[in-house]
Structure 1
């Protein structure tokens, strides 16, 4: 099944026309609103360098699950 999504608001302009694989491999700073400094902090603290690594991070997945459970109350 084909899936489409408008990612323009989520990404810096130079990444908006990239494939999902290219976006996943892009630096975290490619996300709209994430500065190079913030991306450096993620890299230094957790070793996260790409959008894919951020999305797959067990820390962020756990935090998301906890937040979702708290919001479901």
Structure 2
């Protein structure tokens, strides 16, 4: 079973929320992501929610490249 400590990845207002609620939240719910960052992500890629960011093909491509690099070392 996978688990995550939400306190490490989301702002205080989102710590007690269910994962589904966090996924539906604006990307600014993530620690270190400002409202302006969220606006820029929406303008550039149409990303509005945490789920949108997770599904963004560029994010997936970058994760795949990083995973490939990790196993080839």
Q: How many residues align?
A: 72
In the TM superposition, what are the counterparts of 1:1-73 in structure 2 within 5 Å?
3-73=2-72
Aligned-pair CA distance for 1:23 = 0.4
Aligned-pair CA distance for 1:42 = 0.6
* Inter-CA distance 4–63: structure 2 relative to 1 (3 Å threshold): closer
CA separation in 1, counterparts of 2:47 and 2:31? 17
In structure 2, runs of 5+ residues without a counterpart are: none
In structure 1, runs of 5+ residues without a counterpart are: none
Aligned-pair CA distance for 1:72 = 2.2
**TM-score w.r.t. length of structure 2:** 0.89
Give the CA RMSD over aligned residues.
1.3
Large movers: runs of 4+ above 2 Å: 2-5
**TM-score w.r.t. length of structure 1:** 0.89
* Inter-CA distance 72–54: structure 2 relative to 1 (3 Å threshold): same
